[in-house]
């Protein structure tokens, strides 16, 4: 993780989960992350095409020049990336993976803004990870932020971190891990991209 906001939020989330795949939504105390609260958001996972933004910090909304609460997170993305983001969000909400993405935002005047996006699973209901804690922070601060809203964004690179174990569709018998092993990091950069898809080694059709 390159951005200090991403590192601080991940460290906080990691402490709260206490060895579990993810902490509970009620464990999140806004005052604990007040320095980065304006860069954070929470999603509610519905079906594969619906990740409603339930809360969004002021600096996140300022990037888009509008209130994004109650909108679908997938609607923020370029059409070519929408299905890739849906697949990524499913890994977070179904398998408790953490995701770090490099994002390029675009304005109507064709200005670009590099950002880092972090997605972390949360438990809310009786089972599963139906909330996602996230942050979005620019890696630079050009003078036009706040006056020219982002009208679209695309993924330039991403990686997934499995805090406990790989999901079943990626697991081989030789990959079974022991308690205390560190997280598995899967680097996926633009060289692994094929159109709107990201290539993963192994797995099933």
What one-character DSSP code corresponds to residue 41?
Answer: E
Is there a domain that residue 187 lies in? Answer: yes
Range of the domain at 97: 4-198
Alpha carbon separation from 175 to 92, 107, 169, 188, 199 (Å, rounded): 20, 44, 12, 19, 19
Q: How confident is the model at residue 173 (pLDDT cuts 50, 70, 90)?
A: very low
More confident residue, 203 or 130: 130
Number of domains observed in the structure of the chain: 1
pLDDT in tens, 37-63: 999 999 999 888 999 999 999 999 999
Would the pTM count as exceeding 0.85? no
More confident residue, 138 or 165: 138
pLDDT in tens, 62-111: 999 999 999 999 999 988 899 999 999 999 998 899 999 999 999 999 99
78: domain CATH number is 3.30.450.20
Q: How far apart are CA 63 and CA 104, in angstroms?
A: 12
Is there a domain that residue 203 lies in? Answer: no
Q: How far apart are CA 63 and CA 60, in angstroms?
A: 5
């Amino acid at each position: 993780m390159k951005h200090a906001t991403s590192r601080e939020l991940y460290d906080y989330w990691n402490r709260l989960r206490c060895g579990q795949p993810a902490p509970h939504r009620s464990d999140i105390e806004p005052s604990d992350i007040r320095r980065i609260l304006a860069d954070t958001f929470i999603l509610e996972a519905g079906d594969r095409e619906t990740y409603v933004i339930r809360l969004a910090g002021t600096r996140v909304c300022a990037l888009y020049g509008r209130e994004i609460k109650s909108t679908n997170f997938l609607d923020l993305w370029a059409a070519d990336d929408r299905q890739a983001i849906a697949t990524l969000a499913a890994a977070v909400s179904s398998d408790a993976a953490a995701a770090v993405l490099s994002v390029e935002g675009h304005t109507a005047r064709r200005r670009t803004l590099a950002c880092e996006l972090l997605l972390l699973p949360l438990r809310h209901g009786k089972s599963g990870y139906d909330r996602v804690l996230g942050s979005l922070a620019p890696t630079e601060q050009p003078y036009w932020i706040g006056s020219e809203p982002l009208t679209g964004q695309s993924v330039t690179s991403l990686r997934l971190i499995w805090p406990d174990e790989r999901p079943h569709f990626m697991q081989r018998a030789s990959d079974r891990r022991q308690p205390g092993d560190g997280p598995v990091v899967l680097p996926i950069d633009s060289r692994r991209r094929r159109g709107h898809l990201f290539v993963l080694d192994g797995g099933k059709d």
